[in-house]
């Protein structure tokens, strides 16, 4: 193993640590003085933060969680001259850090925003198309979880067709996208059950102390 490869092995570690920063937990405390894990749905994602600490905290959480994924891929791109394998390793590591942060006993968020940041860095056109899917579903049905699931299910296909004009992405990108999509969908298992039962809460920016359920 050469020195360059050894140096690149730091990428997943740094990406994981970056992804594990619990911005939602920190911002909910700053804006609302609450532990977001003990309010609303208990999730540290943007949707629950907006309900517990208000829309400003929720929007900041969304942006910063997405920035984690974007920064991880950007860092890998600069260190490896855009090597697709390392880009995907960095993206997956950041997502794992967000979903399973060591500091929170591996009880993190559901990965929607962080995955969005990763895909935005990998293929802006694919990510913007997935965002359009998300917005349309949420506007029509008002379930953030359903919009997140729809976007997560669509992103592997969007990555395949929009990676580059007339060119499919490398296999590592295709399978990495499927893995990330699968993880986000897996983290929404409880939401899917509530959607089936008709008990999932619809999205609102209003701050709430009620025991609501969210998706991000």
The residues that bridge with 167 in the sheet, in sequence order, are 164
Q: 156-161: long-range contacts (C-beta < 8 A, 24 or more apart)?
A: 156/181, 158/123, 158/125, 158/126, 158/127, 158/129, 158/130, 159/119, 159/122, 159/123, 159/126, 161/126
3-state secondary structure of 164: strand
CA distance 56 to 62: 10
- pLDDT at 206 (0 to 100): 56
The predicted pLDDT at position 178 comes to 98
Q: Token digits for 195?
A: 């959607």
Burial class (CB in 10 A: 0-12, 13-18, 19+), 143: buried
pLDDT for position 205: 53
Show me where the domains of the chain are located. Answer: 3-197
Q: What angle do CA 65, 108, 191 make, to 5 degrees?
A: 95
Task: Find all residues with CB under 8 Å of 216, minimum gap 6, and list them.
Answer: 43, 45, 46, 47, 48, 62, 65, 109, 110, 112, 113, 144, 148
pTM of the predicted model as reported, rounded to 2 decimal places: 0.91
pLDDT at 40 (0 to 100): 82
Neighbours of 149 (CB within 10 A): 22
User: CB–CB of 144/203 below 8 Å?
Assistant: yes
From first to last of the 216 residues of the chain, give the pLDDT tens digit.
545 554 588 999 999 999 999 999 999 999 988 899 998 888 999 989 998 999 999 999 999 999 999 999 999 999 999 999 999 999 999 999 999 999 999 999 999 999 999 999 999 999 999 999 999 999 999 999 999 999 999 999 999 999 988 889 999 999 999 999 999 999 999 999 999 999 998 876 555 544 445 555
SS (H, E, C) 182-196: HHHHHHCHHHHHHHH
How far is residue 178 CA from its own chain's centroid? 14
The closest alpha carbon to 155, from 172, 132, 136, belongs to 132
């Amino acid at each position: 193993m050469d020195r360059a490869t050894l140096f690149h092995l730091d990428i997943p570690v740094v990406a994981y640590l970056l992804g594990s920063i619990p911005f939602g937990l920190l911002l909910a405390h700053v804006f609302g003085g609450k532990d977001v894990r003990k309010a609303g749905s208990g999730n540290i994602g943007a949707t629950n933060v907006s309900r517990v600490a208000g829309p400003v905290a929720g929007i900041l959480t969304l942006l910063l969680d997405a920035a984690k994924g974007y920064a991880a891929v950007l860092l890998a791109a600069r260190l490896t001259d855009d090597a697709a394998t390392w880009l995907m390793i960095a993206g997956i590591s950041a997502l794992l850090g967000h979903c399973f942060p060591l500091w929170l006993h591996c009880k993190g968020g559901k990965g929607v925003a962080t995955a969005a940041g990763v895909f935005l860095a990998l293929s802006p056109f694919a990510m913007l198309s997935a965002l359009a899917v998300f917005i349309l579903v949420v506007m029509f049905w008002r379930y953030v979880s359903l919009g997140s699931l729809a976007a997560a299910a669509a992103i592997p296909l969007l990555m395949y067709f929009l990676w580059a004009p007339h060119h499919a992405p490398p296999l590592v990108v295709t399978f990495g996208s499927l893995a990330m999509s699968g993880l986000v969908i897996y983290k929404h298992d409880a939401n899917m059950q509530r959607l089936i039962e008709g008990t999932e809460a619809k999205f609102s920016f209003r701050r709430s102390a009620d025991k609501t359920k969210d998706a991000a």
